[in-house]
Each structure stands twice: as structure tokens, then as C-alpha cells.
Structure 1
């Protein structure tokens, strides 16, 4: 019996020992699995419980002009982060920081004492200067960290502000190009990972981590910032001179649809948008504003009339008594006494309303409406610019004889400036309607092209021969007609004036006009198309030919070299003298002449001598330049 009991005990001990060995093997296996096989996974999970991230602001992509000049970039602007658990004297830290940040110490202390593992000291410590950051670093405040952040940098200050727009507190695009291309421009920020215990104390056995972000892509515009500077300067001067409420301008390459300048004034600084009336930064006038175009619209009626061969510019006459009767309505010409007998070229030169009513009637309402829509009116141009309007045309049912007549000379309809520019470009470039566009390329953070945008021709509206006739007629307008103030010697400018009475609450407002001019150069092969409109000008006759035409002439003259246009007088129409014009003459060739011969033959000119020699070596202005009778010719001797 005792032997049986002993045997049973040995079996039990052996079983327990085997079970112990099995359990030990399981424990060792588990430890091997945890510490060796799943080490990295479990370490990551543990670190996730320990880590505290300090985010760095994402660096947005740049906005560049067509030549690669920086319009908007990003500038380093640090932001402060504070871990309350790591500092035993929060009140003292708040007082020291408040002095540098120029803020209230009590409010800052309240923020720093929050029961949170990390506090972003914003707005007091957001986007601080480098000088402030350096001064704070010298304080060696426990628990205070400086995160990298960025703010938008505007090297050209207010230039293009209403087109480019701005970003908000969180670097998100809120207006303009910044808004329309926000997803492309946005970058992902770097991050520092700090490892602490539950109390926020750094863990000495774990190295801090760093995650690299990615800069946003850059947007290269079709805009030429040099041309933009010229146009904005002229518009701002016009606003001041004529005490106008606002002004706008567009420069386009009529052969491609590239927008070289898009200007609205008054302007604002994008970094200070919060202190600006929203009606300024929310309205990009060249695409947002709609108004009656006035006589600039006559270009399209002319093009349609020539294409359908219902008029002959040179061999057909029209008599203007100063008005025309349509369905019992008296539609007047701007010249109340009328222009009398004219060729249709003179109808164009004089911007004669009854003459254009005649063209519209010969076309017929249906055909005129077809051409207007074919030129792109009544719908968005598809430029991709935020806030673009569509304008308003008469419906087919409402397009009666009177509406047809007024539309023919640009009254009763509502269009946008960019629609007018698109349509006139087609009228002068051979008849091809190109979609206006503002973005040239999308570039990655290394400057490599991700996407390029090319000219997009939508359709041909008129023939090249008709387009040539339109160009010739509009050059004659500048040389001999209502656009004479845009004449630029050597550049062969063509164009058309526009004077539109403003409509308020459905009624025309007396004495309140939008005056405009659209011009192009060279007239025989247009490379530049410039449109300018001035809203509610004062202190001058409210006509496009008086106010807007000289602005366009000056702009074209200054930007022509930027577009590679060389002045040439070959084929240019001479500007006829009219009463009130400044007397002009062409500069004679004085080179090689002696002082005696110059004084003997050219006594009517003002000559200023430079140098002590006897013979003229060179002169300014150049030979054959058109100058006023009171201008001075500078001659330089040997």
C-alpha cells in the first residue's frame, strides 16, 4: 500500500515538473515574441503614448510672374509652444515672455497654466520676429519650445493684391489666386516628436523624432509684373486726377489669350486685409464688374457687319441727322447736331450711334445676336479666375427692334471687362476666339514643371480678311477719330473709345459714367491689347476719348519694349492736326552739321547744346521723332 502511494506521488511530481517546463517554455516563447519579433510594433505603440508633437507650419508654394519674379513667397515666422508640466514657475515665465511679446502678462499666464500637455501661445506668440525669437531663446524657459512657422511675404507690396488675394490665420487661401489654387499651394509642415511620461517629463532613454514635411507647389502666372506696375501706376494717377471711385485695366496677348496684367484700384496690402473694406478685396473688377460697355462694343457690331458684307467702309455713305427713330423711340447720337454725310469708315471714326444702328438693322436681330454670343458674351470666359461674372444679354423674346438697335451701339446689355477683351482680341487677331488664362505653369518644390497651360482656341468667329478690315478701321479711329488721344508715334495703335452712362436701380443716373478705351499695337500685327475703364470720373469731360484713351496710349508706349515691340513708322497713318491739338513736328537730322549751319537753318526749334565742339555727333530725341513745338532738341558735339 505504501509502495502504491509512493508511486502515485512520483507520478504527480513528474507531471507537475512537465507542466512547469511547458509553462516556462511558453513564457520564454512569449517573451521572445514580444521582445524580439514584435519589438518595433510595441515600441511604436508605447512611443505613441509618450510622444508630444510640436508641429511646424507648412510652407506654401510661391506665386511667380511669367518671368519667374517672386510675387508672393513665405517668410520664416516662429510660433511658441508651452508644456505646463515642465515648468515650476509659470508666473515668472509669463512675465518674462510678456515683456518681449508686448502683451498682458496676466492673460498670458492664464493661457500657460492650462491643464493641457501642450499649449500653443497664439496669437501672442504666433509668427514672432526673428529678433523676438532670439531674445526668448536666451531666457532658457523650461517647457517653452519654438516651432517653425511661416507667413506670406509680399516683395512687391500691394501690387496685384486684388488678383493674388491672401491667406488666413491657418495659412488657408481665402481670396484670389491663393483661394483658387489653395490645394496646389498648400504644403505639409515638419514635426518634432518629444517623448515624455504622463507628467510631461522628458524620457531620457528615448530619442526625439523628426518628420519632414513638403513645400507646396508653386504657381507661375502669365502676368508680367513690369507691365502690372505700369498699369497700376496709371490707374492710381487717374483716380487721383479725376477723383474717380475706382478703375480697372487688362493687358492681354491677343494671339494667345495670356493675361499679362489684371489691375483693380484702389488696392490694399494682402497682409493687412483685415483692416480693408471687404468690397475691395472681394471684387476683382476686371472679371467681377458688369456694366454697359458703351462704344467699345461697336467693334463687334462692325466686325459682324463686315463679315456679312452688309456695309462697305470706303464706298458707301450714311447720313446722320443726330438721331434715328426706331419703333417710335428716338435714339440720339452723342453729337446732338449729327455728323451729317459720312462714309462708314467715318461712322466708325466718329463713333456715330445712328450709323451703328443702321449696321445692326442690316444684320437683323437674329444674326446680330448670333455674333454677340459667338464672340463669347453671355457666358463666363472660363479664365479660372475666382469671382468671374457672366454679364446679361437680352433674351430672344425680349430682343425687339429697339433692343436690337441699342445693343448695336453697346447700350442695354451688361458685360464684363474680360469678356470685352476676349471678344476684341478675336476681332483683331484674325478672328480666333481664345480663352483668357492667368496660370502659365504649376511647379514642384524643385522648380520642375508639373503642369503647363497652353493657349486654347475655341472657334473662329470672323475671317482673317474681315479682321484685317477691323484693324484698319480702328487704327483710323486713333489717327483721325475719337481715339486720337491714344496716338503713339511709331507704334501704330488702333482702338475704340467707350462712354457708358451708369444704371442705378434700373434707371440711368445723370452725370455718372464709366469711361473706357480699348487699344492694341501694332495695328497691322497686334501683340498687345490694353483695356482701361475709369468709374465715375470728375474734373474733366466724361468721355472715353478724353480720359481713358491717353492712359492706354501711355501704357502701350511704355510696355511695348517689354513685349519686344520695336517702334516703326512704316505704314502708320499720320495724325491730322485739329484745332486744340498740340502743334508737333518731326525731329530733323542734325548729325554732322556745324553750330553755324544749325543756327542758320533751324532757328524755329529750341536747341540745347552739349559739349564745346563744332560738329553735332548725336542728338536726342532721335531723328524723325514726333515732338511738340515747345520741346527741346538736345545736340551733343564732338
Structure 2
């Protein structure tokens, strides 16, 4: 019976009993989980990982804790007595945190040379931000334990985080290593990577412009969205001021908790007039070229005097000029012709009053008038963008539909999710919600908004050959239920090219100073510069058929650059050009020139010509 029992225990039950014993003997040293990367649409790294070891200590394996504490403290910059207190705790293993957590590789190497008994180095990782503060308010950050606490890191935490590796040490009850049992290694699982729709190079250009605007106008904040209006893909999502995600503890929570393009709500001002325009054209209540409206500077609605931004009024004008001039009474008239029920329906069909469904953390819904409260005055003020509250991303979604043929696409920020082998787990495609206007109406909206940039309030966004369309916005801020005197949010929404839009750019600057507070003065030039810089990144080339910019008093005098290529010095001299020409090279024949032929140049610009031998 004894022999049989021994056979049963040592042979038949051997593996089961061994496993139970190892559970009592093992001591785990965890390796930090490798969190998934966050990349842009082209695979460029936005957030990665950096090796940051963590120290673990087994008190029973070291007979000289005072000496060990002194040696370790000198390397990690910790008080020796506090470290000794941690190292003499009655525990089988102590994590020397926070001072010994996420130490540098140099510190880990120096500690390894000390060969301190009972001291182990666990592999850990912290997030690495190769672009510094870029995109910080979108991507967010991770906390002490590596979990996502804000932004993309928080919203997609379950996808990004992994399970770390572990070293299993086998000891007796006094944590003395067991010589007859080999240590083991348990492999974890890496987190999946998230590929955004963001274009990193475009993001850099936009954030640079926003930061300059913040400083130049001493503004409270500024925000930007760049979207592909044909798909809903968000190419840029920016807010300034920003913060360092690696040191988020030093930032104001009101900065890192508020992703302004989706969180901020405010009266849109005149950028909202695009919705009223699209509705009026779709319902056929106005004709841009053949119907006229007289603006004396105000209009009366239910005994309320509603003024135009231009106190003396714009006088007699076509409805195209109403759009160019951003005339409030003119848009009130469009709203009146539509009627309250239809105007409200179009506003909601364009996506206002509800979340866009972008999936970006912290998105607000905005506030519209209820149908019961939508009286004549509310209808009138809504028609020109006052009295309601919307988010920037709602405005971008709506304007995209107005210019892309009438299709309302859901904005989205995630392009693909990939495992650690680079294999696609999930991909995201454009999602159309509904059609709100016809292609014919959309073409008229594009025409009107291109005219706004060439001849109207958006002239400072004009870019020769890129065919920019857009609309300004100037909204007085509401503080504690009343309008704040002299405090505005100025904005501009622009797109290019006007005949087939591929880029939609929205900029808003909150409480600018040191300038006239108009969207056409502050925001329009910013959008113009951004479009000029990012258009080549989107593969957009200059094209013909643009509405030429109308000269107005005060504008710099411009001309089209003559084509000098193929000419010799003698031929150029006989042309009697008044332009200043600077020659480069020793040849006679002009190979190419800068600016290019037919470019708009000012009268005092220099044309640089580059020659080659005949």
C-alpha cells in the first residue's frame, strides 16, 4: 500500500502537485506592458514607448540593507533614510516606487554594476512623445500605472494597453531561492496600435499658425479643424495653448481636459449663414443674381430692431452681394422666406443639436431653440448665427455637406487599428448620414463662397490659383447670460479648390486683442496661409477658372508675372518691362523664373530669372 501510494503521488499526481507547490514558491517580477503606438495616417509616429526600468527589492535576501540603501539612493537621487524605510518593510518583495520607478537606462546600468543582493530590475515602459506638445489635447496622456487618462489614450485604452511579461522566481518561505527549481518567464501580450486620420505634417503647419496667432493677438485660446469634406476624415485637430503630455501634472486641468474643437460651444456668428444660404437656395426662395434686397442697416422683427454689423447698411444689393457682405438683414430675409419650421428642419438636418458621433472624447451637443421657443425673433437671429450654441466640429460637418454635393458625413478620427504584427484588426470607412441638399444647390453655395473670398468679407484668405471659398464669423461672447462688451470669438471657414473641394479649414480665435475684432481681419489671413502651406501636402495644384480678386482702395497693386522663359537678355530689354529683374547664372537664355509666369505679384516685387548657356 505504501509503495502504491508513493507511485500515485510521485508519478501519477507529480505534475499537479508540482504546479501547486510552484504557486506557493513563486515570486513575480513584472515587466511593463508594451502599450500600442499612436500613428498618423501615413504611419508617422505620434506616441511611442521608451524603456524605463523599475526597481524591486526582496528584504530577506540582503543582510546589509543600510549599505544597499545608501548605494541605491545616491544613484536615483532619493533620501537614504526614506529608502531604507521602504527596504526594511515586512514583505516578501517591495517596489521602490515612485523614485525607483521609470528610472533612466543609465541609472539602471549603474545600479546593475553595484550587484546588490535582493535587488531586481523590472523592465517597464513610459510613453514617448517625439513631437513634444504637438496634438497633446487630442492624444491625451497616461497615468502612473500606464492607463489612459485623457484623449485618445483614454478613449481607446482597452485597445492600446497590453499585458506585460513576468519573470517568476521560486523561493522558500524566507524568500531563499530554491536550487532545484528553474526560474521561468511568462510572455505577455502587446497592445494594439491606433492609426489616426491625422496628417502630421499638416498638423505641424496648423499648430504653428495657431501659436503665432495666440501670441500676436494675446488671445485666450485658438482652435482649428481640417477635414476632407468628401469623406469626413479629420486631417488636423488642434487647440492652443497646449501642454507637455509627459509632464501633464504641471499643466492646468482646464487645458488637458478640454479638447476645444469638440468641447467648446459658442454662438457661431456669420459662419452659420452658410446653412441659411444652402436652405434658401435648396427651397428656391432666393436667386443669387436676379433678386435684390435693400439693407438700411437694420430690420424690424416683432417690434425688435435687429441691426446689421455695418451700421449705415449695405443699401441695394443682389443676394450674392448679401452673402459677400455678410449682411445680417439679408439673411434675416432668407430665414423669413423659408419660415421657422423649414429653417429649423434644415438646421437639424445639417447635424446641429446633436453629437456628430466622431468618437472623440468630450464632444458636446450644443444648444438650439426648442420648437415652442422658436418665435419670429429667435428665427431671425438664428438665420445669421446668433442666439444658438454650436461646436466647431458641428460647423465643419455642416459646411462639408453644403460644399461636397449635399452629403452629410460623420467626422471620424481613427483610420485603422493594428496588432503588434502590423496586421489590420479593424478599419474605418467614410459614413454618410444623409443627403441634405442637391448637387445643384451645393454648386451655387460654392460659387457664392468663392465670391466671398474674391470680392467680399473673406478677401484676406484669397490664394491665387487655389480657388479658395469661405465665410467669416464674428460672434460676441456670452458671459453669465449677457453679451460681454468687446469680447469676441472670431472665425473663418474656408475650402479649396472651390470647384471640387478637398480641404476644409476652420479657425477660431477666442478673445483676440491688439487688432480689430473681425473674422475677416484676424482669422481669414490665418486660413489663407494654412491653405497655401497644406494644399501641396494634399496634392492640390493651382487651377484655372477662379473668380479674380477685385481691387479695392488700400489693396497692394498687383500684376500677372510675364513669361520670360526662353528669352535672352536682349529680348527682355526690348520688352520695356517696368519690373525689377534679377539675373542668376552666366548664360544668355532664361531657363526658368521665380515667381512662375502668370503668378500675381506686387508692382515692386523682384522677378528672379535663371539662365543657361545657349
Map 1:255-270 → 2, pairs under 5 A? 255-270=230-245
Q: Distance in 1 between matches of 2:14 and 2:190?
A: 34
Provide structure 1 residue ranges, at least 5 long, that are not aligned to the other structure: 1-25
Residue 636 of structure 1, CA deviation: 1.1
Aligned partner of residue 492 in structure 1, secondary structure: coil
Q: Distance in 1 between matches of 2:55 and 2:574?
A: 80
Structure with larger Rg: 1
Residue 124 of structure 1, CA deviation: 1.0
Q: Which range moves more in the overlay, 385-394 or 600-609? A: 600-609
**Are residue 442 (structure 1) and residue 417 (structure 2) matched?**
yes
Residue 631 of structure 1, CA deviation: 2.0
**Are residue 184 (structure 1) and residue 159 (structure 2) matched?**
yes
Residue 585 of structure 1, CA deviation: 1.2
**Are residue 239 (structure 1) and residue 227 (structure 2) matched?**
no
Map 1:257-296 → 2, pairs under 5 A? 257-296=232-271
Provide structure 2 residue ranges, at least 5 long, that are not aligned to the other structure: none
Residue 600 of structure 1, CA deviation: 4.3
Q: Distance in 1 between matches of 2:588 and 2:433?
A: 63
The list of structure 1 runs, each at least 4 consecutive aligned residues, that deviate by more than 6 angstroms after superposition, is: none
Map 1:78-157 → 2, pairs under 5 A? 78-157=53-132
**Are residue 619 (structure 1) and residue 589 (structure 2) matched?**
no
Q: Deviation string for 1:405-463 (max 9, x for gaps)?
A: 00000000000000000000000000000000000001001010000001000000001
**Are residue 202 (structure 1) and residue 177 (structure 2) matched?**
yes
Q: Distance in 1 between matches of 2:580 and 2:506?
A: 36
Residue 602 of structure 1, CA deviation: 4.3
Q: Distance in 2 between matches of 1:446 and 1:591?
A: 53
Q: Which residue of 1 aligns with 2:549?
A: 575
Q: Which residue of 2 aligns with 1:523?
A: 498
Q: Distance in 1 between matches of 2:21 and 2:582?
A: 87
**Are residue 168 (structure 1) and residue 143 (structure 2) matched?**
yes
Q: Distance in 1 between matches of 2:58 and 2:529?
A: 61
Q: Distance in 2 between matches of 1:634 and 1:268?
A: 43
**Are residue 494 (structure 1) and residue 469 (structure 2) matched?**
yes
Structure 2 residue aligned with 1:33, among 3, 8, 18? 8
Distance 1:133 1:295, change over 3 A: same
Q: Which residue of 2 aligns with 1:226?
A: 201
Residue 248 of structure 1, CA deviation: 0.1
Q: Distance in 1 between matches of 2:116 and 2:498?
A: 70
Aligned partner of residue 362 in structure 1, secondary structure: helix
Q: Which residue of 2 aligns with 1:401?
A: 376
Q: Which residue of 2 aligns with 1:587?
A: 561
Q: Distance in 1 between matches of 2:603 and 2:86?
A: 74
Residue 551 of structure 1, CA deviation: 0.6
Residue 603 of structure 1, CA deviation: 4.1
Q: Distance in 1 between matches of 2:476 and 2:581?
A: 47
Q: Distance in 2 between matches of 1:122 and 1:151?
A: 14
Q: Distance in 2 between matches of 1:54 and 1:74?
A: 20
Q: Deviation string for 1:388-414 (max 9, x for gaps)?
A: 000000011111000000000000000
Q: Which residue of 2 aligns with 1:532?
A: 507
Query: TM-score, normalization: structure 2?
Result: 0.99
Q: Distance in 2 between matches of 1:495 and 1:104?
A: 61
Q: Distance in 1 between matches of 2:162 and 2:320?
A: 57
Residue 181 of structure 1, CA deviation: 0.1
Aligned partner of residue 202 in structure 2, secondary structure: helix
Aligned partner of residue 122 in structure 1, secondary structure: coil
Q: Which residue of 2 aligns with 1:17?
A: none
Q: Deviation string for 1:353-392 (max 9, x for gaps)?
A: 0000000000000100000000000000000000000000
Q: Deviation string for 1:459-511 (max 9, x for gaps)?
A: 00001110110000000000110000000011100000000000000111111
Aligned partner of residue 138 in structure 1, secondary structure: helix
Residue 315 of structure 1, CA deviation: 0.3
Q: Distance in 2 between matches of 1:168 and 1:521?
A: 41
Q: Distance in 2 between matches of 1:93 and 1:600?
A: 89
Q: Which range moves more in the overlay, 246-255 or 597-606? A: 597-606
Q: Deviation string for 1:77-133 (max 9, x for gaps)?
A: 100000000000000000001111011011001101111000000011100111001
Structure 2 residue aligned with 1:319, among 273, 294, 307? 294
Q: Which residue of 2 aligns with 1:65?
A: 40
Structure 2 residue aligned with 1:350, among 307, 315, 325? 325
Structure 2 residue aligned with 1:604, among 573, 578, 587? 578
Aligned partner of residue 50 in structure 2, secondary structure: strand
Q: Distance in 1 between matches of 2:108 and 2:153?
A: 28
Q: Distance in 2 between matches of 1:602 and 1:222?
A: 52
Q: Which residue of 2 aligns with 1:413?
A: 388
Map 1:454-473 → 2, pairs under 5 A? 454-473=429-448
Residue 617 of structure 1, CA deviation: 2.0
